[in-house]
Structure formats: structure tokens, C-alpha cells
Structure 1
Amino acid sequence: MNKAGDSRGSETGRTPIQHVAVIGAGISGVVSAAHLLKEGFGVTVFERTDRIGGVWCYEERVDRDPSFPNLVPPAQDWADVDAENLSKDEALILHGPPGPCYAGLKNNVPTSLMKSSLLPWVEGTEEFIDQGRIVHYLQDIARLYHVTENVQFHTRVESVTKPADKWIVRTSTLRLEADTFSISRKSESFDRVVVASGHYNIPFVPNTPGLSGWKARFAGRVIHSKSYRTPEPFKHKTVLLVGAGASALDIAREVCAVGGKVYQSRRESKYDLTGPRLPQEVARVAMVAEFIAHGIDSSEAPWDEHSQGVIPGKVVLEDGTTLKDIDYVVIATGYITSYPFLEGLEQPHVAWEDADETVLITADGYTTHNLHKDIFYIPDSTLAFIGVSALVSTFSLFDFQAKVMAKVFAGHVQLPADSIMKTEQRERKARFQPGDRFHALLRGEQDYIGEVLTWVNASLTRAGMPAMEGMDAKWLMAYDNFHANRL
């Protein structure tokens, strides 16, 4: 492992090795580290959990419940693990929260589209496979490209600042010893930083009237999908599922398979692609307008969630329809994008339209502002993000973005002038329409890749270097077939 401060090659007059911090060891972090290592960088990957694989890693434990509602990036308490009388298990959850992976999770983008250029899938791999095989694939990439030995596990990044010409990364590492734990903190300097921490950490919970009351009174009967693990608790139960994303589709399928009755509450949207793939017995209904409890005195103790009875209340929908006899509510409304370690760059109380040319996160909790091509932070391009683009072929696109990032960091590709990047960002925002998701490429992925390749290869040609390749012919065919079947 190359540690910060090494200067391999300096004795021969070569430029000292630059060191890059990569935050996260999921797909985005693994491919980022691998491409950076191929370019000759020293790399340190910081991972909060004990393994490589990110959101694909399954564990039975669940994270703490979010607030109800939970609308904006919350302030992170980095002293949470310093509390007295904290158990080892409590420290593990605070320091490296379990992700949203459920036992039956499979990829919803076929493996022919969801692959890294670093390693093909084993011949004969099915198009849709379980999360365990996906984790093994990511771990194989990490092993083959020497990423694994550069990962600091059980280490969370608490602060990333740049007071001078270097980034200062402050971390805490959880050390486990039998039934006890300890925390060690340190600061390291890096030339560049890659944020690859993903989107699936902080649940978004809407401020629907009555929802917080239901959560307070009916506790475990009202959950966010991040806490879903298996369909067994919902066997032969009536479930109100709020949301229309990939997790909602999977949960609906699994609950129906064990005899559950599912209402899927959602708003009409061009991003709702789950309808045709839902089980026929799922009732798609309008968005919830209000949760109403019957006969519950607010001064009473919380209702017994282990009771066999239905929740004593009703749900009023936006079209005036009323639902009754609900056993469980699963809020599958997505996640808030947050980078709490980037001090001062999150402004959760600033409206989206009021974002200046330095802020990263605003009150919408989704958009990462001021990124060139969803990758490079325009005010300081030594800070990059991989995995921001949404509704894409994930592994394939993030691998492509990581290759671009590594070539820019290595000096092989030049970024446009700041004025050009800022103008492009302003024009992109001007095209933004209400209801849009700023980073959602949906069926525009090929156009995005083409635009980036045009810029990258023009720079490589001027430098007399080989052109960078885009997606191969098999990927392009799979892409066309996949989207044709979704229409």
C-alpha cells in the first residue's frame, strides 16, 4: 500500500506520486480506485463497513429509524460513538450503518449492461442474479486490481477540507476487541479526493399529514424500505407501499409471493417504470393525502405493534379514496443525497434555485450542484464524484466515469475552462423542468457517453495519445434491447 507522503520515482527526477482519497468501497469506489491505480496514483479507500460491495452487501441488522418526516440532509453527529455505555453492536450501527440490501435483492439492470470494463462476467452468467454473486464480482475486481490492500475498513470520513494546496481528510476507525470497541482518529493529506459514497444512506420520508403520528403510535408497523429484509413479516398481511422505484417493485413482488395484499401508492411520473412489471394482484392507487388514526389517545402508551390486529386507522388518498385494514406501511420514497464530511458545501436550508456556484447540496436533497459532466467539482476539479448519475446502467456508466476521472487526474485529458463549465451548468439548469430529476439520464445515457467521449478524445488526440473507447458492441445491443422492452 502506498501511504501518503511516498514519492516513488523522485530519485530519478520523475514527478512524485500523487495520492488520492476514495470515499466508499462500493462499485463506484472500487472502479475509481482500480483506474487510478492503473494510472500510477497512490490510493487510499475509506470504507465504513467491514467489506467491499457497498449497497449490495446483505446483513440482517438494520439501521436506526430515520426521523418521520425526513426531508433534508441532517447534521451529522461525529461524536455519536463517543457516548458513554455504548455497546459494541450500537457502535457498529452508528459508525457504519447497515445498508438497504434485502435478502432477495437482484439487479434490475441485466448483467449484459451492468458490467465493468475491468472484468467481464463469467461466461454463462444469467442476466439477473442475486446480490451475493454481485458482491463477489465487485470483490474480484478489487482483488485483481490491488484495490483490496488499499482499503481501510471500519473507517468513516468525518471531514474533508482544503485549507491550502492539499486536501485534509479526517477519519475515525472503529476497532473491535471481543465485546468492546475503541475509536482512533487521524488526519491525512491528499492531492485529490474522489467521493464514491453512494445515494442509499439517508432515507427520505415525506411530510405526509398524519404519517409521523402513525410512526410514533404504531412503531414497527411503519417502516422505510431501508429496513426491509425479507417478506416473512408481511405474510398474508395487507401492506400499503408508498413509492414506485425499484425497491417498491421488489417488495411488492416478494410480499405478493407470500400471500400478502399490496396497495402501491404513487404519483404519476415519467420516472415510474414499475407499473407493467408489478404482479397483477397489486392495486395501484393515488398518492396518500393523509394518515388518520381512530380512537387513539395521544397520551396513551404506543400501540402494541406485535398485536395481530390491523392498524386502527384509515388512509385517505389524493383522489378521495379511503383505505382501511392496513397491517403495515412501507415508505419506499428513496433517499437524500448527502456528503456531511464536505464541510460548508452542504446547505440544506437553501432552495434549489438559490444554489450559488460553490454549493453541492441544497434543500431538495437530490441534486449535487456544480459538477462538470456529473463528475468534477467546478470550483476545484481535484475533487470528483463517481456515481451521481441516476437511472443508468450503474456499473457500466460508473466505470466509464471513473476512467474519465483517472485520465483527467493523470493530466492526459484537460478540462474546459472554468467559464465554459459554469456556462454549461447554468444552461443545464435552465432546461430543468418541475418534476425532473437533475441527474436522471434515463434513455439519454448514450448521448451522455457520446458527449463525454467527444471532449475526452479531442484532448487525447491533441496530446498524441490513443483515443478512449466507449461501450462495446454487445453493450450497445443490450442497451437497445433493454429499453425497447421497457417501452
Structure 2
Amino acid sequence: MAPHAAASGGTPATPAGIDKGGSAGSSDARHNGRGPVAHSAVNGRRRLKRVAIIGGGSAGIVQAQQLHHLSHAADSEVAFERTIYERRPKLGAGLWMCDQEPGECIIRWDEHGRGWPTSGPSEGKGEGEEDRRWPIGAMYEGLRTNIPCDLMSYRDYPFRPRDVSGAFPSRSEVEEYLIRFAADCEESGALGGDIRLNTAVTKLRRLRGPAHDDGQEGEGSTWQIESLDLEAGVRSVDEYDCVVIANGRCNVPSLPPIPGLWNFTSPNANAHRTNKPSRKLLHSAWYRTPHSFSSCKRVVIVGNSSSGMDVARELRGYIVRSEAEILGGGKEEWIQQVKRGEGPEVINSIEDLAKPPAMDYDPLDEHSPAWSKGIKVVPRIRRVEKDGTLLLEDETRLEDVDAIVFATGFNVSYEFVDYSEEPFGRYPLVPALPKREIVGGQEEEKALQRARCEAAQGHDAPPHTASLSPWSTPCAPGPANLDDWLLLYSPDDSLGILGLPTGVVPFVFTHAQARYIASYWAGKARKLPALSRSLAMNDPERWKSRISKDVEEGERDESGVRGNQGPMPLVFGSPSDFDYVDALLEHIDGAGHDPTAQGGEQNRASTTAGELPADAAQAERYWRETTEANLREGREEWYRVKGWRRARRKENKTLRRLTLGY
């Protein structure tokens, strides 16, 4: 089954899913060389636009697919030529590729005392040898999704039953799904003829700004991309009319600004640990197996979102992946070790003790399983003393901690953007982190300055390695200067960014974003309205809100740009993510409301009636029966989110606990 070509402006989809024709003007029009080309040329009756897509993972391939579909709509006046840049050796997989040997997690400290996790050489590589071509991948073998595969699938491109082991597929099953989707797209010509694998974008710059006075948004800009072929070492320069950044947001692991954190692994602190292993300090992106902590007696995990609870659960001996999926094996050995009381004490340090894990059992709930209740929950870390002791917010002191695992997410960063050049100098895509925030406040800043002064006397101070800083461009929890929909660059809407929000069903979400961008640049979608910034991203009412023209104009600067200094919040959640998708589609010609739906049919609940299942066997049967019934409802096209998806989202936690046990 190939990805579908959904209706646009009333044009029906082809049964096979993708138009088998080449790009407009035949394949000879595709630019497969490495030099600049002319832009917005007229190809027959269609204007030709060249689009660069940075990233060939789950977001990048659907963007190319949607640009192809809009090019081939019967009434299209624009033909898109697509170039996909992907650092990895294959399309589709993206962050779902398994990075089984990530190397050692090395923390580098900047001049403000903030730590930045980076990868040391992988096995077989020496220090200084060329090694990692793309950022650390957080996926490990056997990792299970936390949403069912029918819910997470692209529109009208379901997981095949024979390809998944159950409702919640493994990492490898998701990777194969994405590779199959990319292969189907490529076979049908939907990805275009210029796919550059093993190629890193090294610089994005704007040569010419937009010309909005002609009434057509997204027109008139010229973008230049410099890239490097990582295999051949060849550098190239190309020009484009539009650019989509689709390289994800899991490239720069984030550590919170904890004063003295550098003390935890300092030589002076470890010198007092006689007959004990050196302490470990790492980000959860480096976690692969519980056996890495076999010599630890006390492990602190910072954060209780999905990654943090995944690590805590396995350290407590509840492991759902198979023996073969664990690096080095030893699943049963670890489980028995924990049962004998020989596993490490697992401590979870969180921001708010009143907020239990959103996706897992609450260790503080007496009704939770024994493995969950065995996790000790404590407040966040205030500072780390010189001997490596952790001082918590409630003044508790945690001594003899052997490892800290930070499950604290990722920062947004675009290393190929030069912020010394306009428009990024005035309107950066990512805000710089304020210095005071980095060191944790005025009191800690003074202490940090004293520590630096004492360093000459042999005392511990931040091991300043700013010259080795891995991030030469800003990193922050969220972006800046995007529109209120976190989609288009406010100063120039010929630049778009896919897939930034968290707490969403990702493939469905980015699929709709890609559809809007392609439609907008093809002149088949209306400009997205300005929204009320007083409403949070996780408030469904935000996507229905509007502000007056007077208010909107008052928020623009002298250049007419309604920017946002950021960092813009990214956390959505349910039902805000699906309400966003519905609202987005309403601005696309021919999308949104399904004219064939009777009354509320398109938003009804899951087809199968009855109560939710009571055990794992019933849950599996219920999931398969409802999945088959939902598929019989027909194609989703580009109408509002189907009711079965909303129903599945609501019952997700129940199904997951019955199926996986957490």
C-alpha cells in the first residue's frame, strides 16, 4: 500500500495512493547537480519552486510527499522540486534508528558552569578519530512505544498487522514502518529525484528577503544552503525558494542548571571513594541496559516523564523487552538480582512532588505495583557539594550516590544557522539562554565566582572547557520568532519548521503540518491567524482564539514583524494536539469538514461498543477488533481527526497498562 494522495480543492485521491508521474516538466527538470539553479521559473503553466528539506526522517519524508501531491493536483499552478538532505545513510528511520554503541557520555562545562552532554568515541574508535556523523540517538533495542500503532500511524497508511507484535510496537517495528513508507514514496516519485544521503547541512543563509507586496505569501525569498557529503568530503552550495527544517528536536540533550554539578565526577570528590567505582553522570539518551549500573548502590534519576520512568522501571527489575533485545543479554539475571535486594536503590528527583508521572504508575500511590512503589521520590537537586553530596530543595542531603541519570529532555538548536547574519541576527530561531538562569541565580553566581578564584588554590571549580563547547549556536528549551502555530518563521514564511511540539501523536501531527505548508506555498491555504498568546499550548481553546487586527498590529515591530523572543513553550498534550490539527486543516482549501459525514459521524467514538478489557488477553483482542472496525470506516483524507483516533487516545493508558504492565 502506498501513501495516499488526499483530496486538495476537491481533487480525488488516486486509488494507488500516489501519482506515478514524474515531477512537473518531467524528470529532466530535476536538479541533480550541486550548483545553484534559477528560481520560480515558469514550467508550462506552472511556476517552479525549489524546496530544500533538511532531514529525511518521519517529518521530512511526509513534507516531500505533500509537496509532490500539491504539485500534481489538477488545478495546481505551482510545481515543487524537492531536495532532501539527510545525514544518515537511509531515509525514513531518523531518530528511530538504533544507536547501540553511543560511546561514553562526556559532560563539557561552559564558562557559566552549565553542562553539555556529548558522545565520546564509540567502541573501536580512538580519541580524536572521526566517529559520529549525527547526534546521539536515544533509542535502544526493545524500547516500546507508549501509544498504540494504529493511533500513531500516518493518515491512511496503517501499520500492517503482520509487521507488529502487538498494539505497542518495538523501536525496530516503527523503524521498519517508516522505512517502508519512505520506500513506497520514493518508488512512486513522491520524494523527488534529489535525495542526498550521508549529507550534512553546514550553513543556511538568506540571500534575498520576501516580496509580500504582490499579495502572494511565501514568495520572493532566496535561500542558500551549504552542505557536506560526509562520504566523499565534497562541499556544495545550492539555492532554493523555500526551506523546511525537519531534523527533529532530539539533537541536543539538556541538563538543568545545577550549581556545583561538576563536583559530582570531579577527581577530588572521587578520591575519597575508596573501593568504590567512579561516579556516573549521564543523560538518558545514553541509556542502553540496566547492567551499566550493576556496580551502583544508589542511582538518582532526574525527571519522571517517559524516558525517566523507562530507566527507573528497568533498574527496579520490571523489563518488558526480550533477552535478545538487551545489549549483552542478562535480563533474567538482572531481575533476580533485584529480587534478592542486590540491585541499586532507585531515587527519582522531580520538579513537583504533587505531580505524578503522566505516562506511568505513581510511586507514591499505594495501589501501584511493587516495582513502582520501590522507587523513592525526592524533590529536585538544589546543588552538588564539593564531595559530591546532593543537596535537595527540602534540605535533605543524599550521600553516596553512584550515578545520576538526567531524563530531562532536549534543547532546540540549529547548528547550521549563523546568527551573525540577517534575518537571524535580529530574529533568531532559538533564543540565547540567559546567563543568570544558567548558574541558577545571584547567590549561586557569586558562589561560582568565588569557586573560580579558589581554583588557583586547588579547590574544585567548573572545569571550564568553553573552547570545547559542542554547540556554537544558541540552545534553548523552545524556539523563537515562529508564528503562533509553531510552524512558519515570522519574518519570512518561506521557511518552515516541522515537529517541534511535544506531548503529541507525532506522525499524525507532522503529517498535517506538512500538508498545510505544501498547500500554503501552492496558494491553496489561507494564512494562519494570530492567536491569543495568553492561552497555553495545552489549552484546546487556544486554536479557536483570535485577536483583533488592532492588537495584532500593535504587537508588530517597526519592520512589521510580529516576533516572539522565546523560548516558546512546546508542551501540548491531549486533546490540544488533535484540536490543533483540526484547526490547521480548516485553513486548507478542500480540507477540514467531511462533506459526506452525517451529523457527528466523523467525530464519533471507537466503532466497537462495550466496556474496556479487563486483562492482557482481552486488551489484545479488543485492540485488534477495534482497529479492523476503524479501518472499515473509510479513508481519513484531509478531514478532521476521526473520532476513533480521539477515542483511542483516551483509552491509551488503560490499554498500555493491560498490555505492557505500565
TM-score under structure 1 normalisation? 0.78
Distance 1:66 1:385, change over 3 A: farther
C-alpha offsets along residues 330-352 of structure 1, whole Å, 9 cap, x if unaligned?
11111110112232234643769
Question: Who is 1:441 aligned against?
Answer: 572
Shift of 1:138: 0.6
Question: Who is 1:20 aligned against?
Answer: 51
Distance 1:379 1:11, change over 3 A: closer
1:248 lines up with 2:379 in the alignment: no
Shift of 1:57: 0.8
C-alpha offsets along residues 202-226 of structure 1, whole Å, 9 cap, x if unaligned?
1111221221121343676111112
Distance 1:469 1:429, change over 3 A: closer
1:102 lines up with 2:159 in the alignment: no
Which of 233, 236, 252 pairs up with 1:202? 252
Tell me the secondary structure at the aligned position of residue 136 of structure 1. Answer: helix
The 10-residue stretch of structure 1 (211-220 or 56-65) with the greater mean CA deviation from structure 2:
211-220
Distance 1:368 1:9, change over 3 A: closer
Question: Who is 2:490 aligned against?
Answer: 378
Give, as a single letter, the amino acid of the residue that structure 2 aligns with 1:226.
A
Shift of 1:485: 7.8
Question: Who is 1:232 aligned against?
Answer: 291
Which of 641, 644, 650 pairs up with 1:480? 650
Verify the 8 A CA contact 2:303 2:408 in the aligned structure 1.
yes
Give, as a single letter, the amino acid of the residue that structure 2 aligns with 1:3.
H
Which of 282, 285, 296 pairs up with 2:375? 282
- Give 5+ residue unaligned stretches, structure 2: 1-26, 72-79, 119-124, 209-220, 271-277, 318-333, 364-371, 436-472, 543-566, 594-635, 658-662
CA distance in 1, matches of 2:141, 2:656: 25
Which structure has the greater CA radius of gyration?
2
Give, as a single letter, the amino acid of the residue that structure 2 aligns with 1:36.
L
Question: Who is 1:408 aligned against?
Answer: 520
1:342 lines up with 2:417 in the alignment: yes
- 1:8-407 maps to which residues of 2 (within 5 A)? 13-40=44-71, 41-52=80-91, 53-62=93-102, 65-68=106-109, 90-93=129-132, 95-117=133-155, 119-123=157-161, 125=164, 126-146=166-186, 147=191, 150-164=194-208, 165-175=221-231, 183-217=233-267, 221-235=280-294, 237=296, 238-257=298-317, 258=334, 259=338, 260=343, 261-268=345-352, 272-274=357-359, 276=361, 279-294=372-387, 313-344=388-419, 345=424, 346=428, 348-349=431-432, 364-407=476-519
CA distance in 1, matches of 2:396, 2:193: 57
Tell me the secondary structure at the aligned position of residue 140 of structure 1. Answer: helix
Shift of 1:473: 3.2
CA distance in 2, matches of 1:101, 1:194: 25
CA distance in 2, matches of 1:148, 1:71: 46
Shift of 1:169: 0.8
- Give 5+ residue unaligned stretches, structure 1: 77-85, 176-181, 295-312, 353-360
Tell me the secondary structure at the aligned position of residue 108 of structure 2. Answer: coil
Verify the 8 A CA contact 1:242 1:266 in the aligned structure 2.
yes
Give, as a single letter, the amino acid of the residue that structure 2 aligns with 1:123.
P
C-alpha offsets along residues 147-193 of structure 1, whole Å, 9 cap, x if unaligned?
49643122111111111231111111211xxxxxx522111111111
Verify the 8 A CA contact 2:501 2:570 in the aligned structure 1.
yes
TM-score under structure 2 normalisation? 0.58
Shift of 1:321: 2.0
The 10-residue stretch of structure 1 (43-52 or 328-337) with the greater mean CA deviation from structure 2:
43-52
Verify the 8 A CA contact 1:289 1:318 in the aligned structure 2.
yes
CA distance in 1, matches of 2:81, 2:571: 32
Give, as a single letter, the amino acid of the residue that structure 2 aligns with 1:349.
A
CA distance in 1, matches of 2:113, 2:45: 50
Verify the 8 A CA contact 2:301 2:404 in the aligned structure 1.
yes
Distance 1:12 1:333, change over 3 A: closer
Shift of 1:89: 8.6
Verify the 8 A CA contact 1:370 1:425 in the aligned structure 2.
no
Verify the 8 A CA contact 2:156 2:637 in the aligned structure 1.
no
Verify the 8 A CA contact 1:157 1:170 in the aligned structure 2.
yes
Give, as a single letter, the amino acid of the residue that structure 2 aligns with 1:195.
I
Give, as a single letter, the amino acid of the residue that structure 2 aligns with 1:67.
R
Tell me the secondary structure at the aligned position of residue 249 of structure 1. Answer: helix
